[in-house]
Chains A and B, each alone.
Chain A
Amino acid sequence: MRPAKQTSPSLARTFLFPVFFSRGDWEFVHGLGTDDIQRLFKRERKNVALVWVRQISAMIKKAMREHAGVARQSKNLEFSTEIRIFAQFLTLMAVCGILSIAIQTAGPLSLAGLAHFVQRLSLRIVKVQGSFQPAPLVKSAGHA
């Protein structure tokens, strides 16, 4: 067993493709054939999924605040780029809202179908977050 010096790959996998959206655990619980355990499973998975969506929303808001802070200091903003980033932010927030409602109404069984969508959303967030910081800083450095 060796220590992980960076973020663990298992953590990254969990974050980008949450296991609570997968059908594997549900099939195991379903196979037990007990209604009360199945009900408990659905309730628990719903709660975890909602925590995850709230976490994603908070991450997007934080990234947007950080970007706004950097953008305010930048002397050479590209209006079209800023509009595009803001549109992405609004889209992601809207998707998180829709996802929250879907989780609360449709239940964990339907969430399995949303798993790929959620994964794409997560990857998009990471991509957008990555594109926030460097661009304005490079521009600022170029004008220093």
Chain B
Amino acid sequence: MVYPDKMTTVEQAYDDLSRRSLSRIDGDLARLIYLASTRDYNTGKYHHDGLAARFQDEIAGQALELAHREVFLQIAARSLEELVHQVEVYVSSSPQSREEVLQVWQKLEPYRVALPVDVNIALAQLFVSNIKLALAILRRRYRRQEPELASRS
């Protein structure tokens, strides 16, 4: 069997991933967390059942890795205000209460696992730092909103 050019195939897998999965996820932060979750903690390799069914496992893994890096670069280049919005979108989409999610994120810092491998150290530090700030800003914002909401009801 003759396989098409390798890079073309990775691009095809990437497009497939973007079209079928990533486009259905609301917000870059949610996409980043989703893509990071397809990476094995022990091996660092990416796996996605749907993608692996349509492409070679290795090609699918490369497409996932590429998408992960791309989404990370997009989100790391955002302003703090935009990132606060991204975190808000992510937190609001969770079935848990906003306060609960924010508290757990501040304690466990799960967003550190969302970093791609071999990313620029300063950029990684900036991302982690901005998420910390966004969480602190949102917690304060929600705390301020609580008495207002209570007095209205």
Contact = CB atoms under 8 A, between A and B. Distances in A.
Contact of A51 (B79, B81, B122): B122
Nearest to A18: B122
B38 to A, nearest CB: 16
Interface in A23-42: 24-25, 28-29, 32, 34, 36-37, 40-41
Contact of A47 (B66, B76, B125, B140): B125
Best-surrounded residue of A1, A2, A10, A18 (most CB of chain B within 10 A): A1
B51 interface: no
Contacts, number: 88
A10 B80 contact: no
Contact of A14 (B81, B123, B129, B132): B123
**Secondary structure of the B contact surface, majority rule:** helix
A10 B11 contact: no
B133 A44 contact: yes
Interface residues of A, number: 31
A8 B70 contact: yes
A30 to B, nearest CB: 11
B11 A55 contact: no
Interface of B: 7, 10-11, 14, 18, 22, 63, 66-67, 69-70, 73-74, 76-77, 79-81, 120-123, 125-126, 129-130, 132-133, 136-137, 140
Interface of A: 1-5, 8, 10-11, 13-15, 18-20, 24-25, 28-29, 32, 34, 36-37, 40-41, 44-45, 47-48, 51-52, 55
